Amino acid sequence: MIEIIGWIGAILFCLCGAPQAYSSYKQGHSRGLSHAFIWMWFLGEVLTLVYVLAKHGLDLPLVLNYLLNLLFLGIIIKYKYKERVNYEASN
């Protein structure tokens, strides 16, 4: 039972970044997010992933959480620093 709880929690937690990543992709920018927030989130994910791997090995619910968050952050960061040109004009 505790394994199921761990998986549900990890899946819900790792999907938290999905709406913002989708919004950044759809709008072609991540203007509303501060640089500090994005980089603190990114560094927190990387450092915690290193800790989990070193301390617990391949704990799949946790590793999945951090890897998916890093994927979503990659999308957000991309549109923070490289906005889609003329996105509004093309719609």
User: Is residue 68 in some structural domain?
Assistant: yes
Confidence band, pLDDT 50/70/90 cuts, at residue 59:
confident
User: Is residue 64 in some structural domain?
Assistant: yes
**pLDDT tens digits, residue range 13-48?**
888 899 999 999 999 999 999 999 999 999 999 999
d(CA 48, CA 69): 12
User: Is residue 59 in some structural domain?
Assistant: yes
String of DSSP letters for 16-85: GGHHHHHHHHHHT--TTS-HHHHHHHHHHHHHHHHHHHHHHSS-HHHHHHHHHHHHHHHHHHHHHHSPPT
Confidence band, pLDDT 50/70/90 cuts, at residue 77:
very high
Number of domains in the chain: 1
The pLDDT value recorded for residue 36 is 95
The pLDDT value recorded for residue 91 is 52
User: Is residue 24 in some structural domain?
Assistant: no
User: Is residue 26 in some structural domain?
Assistant: no
User: Is residue 4 in some structural domain?
Assistant: no
The pLDDT value recorded for residue 3 is 84
The pLDDT value recorded for residue 33 is 92
User: Is residue 90 in some structural domain?
Assistant: no
Residue numbers of the domain that contains 48: 33-83
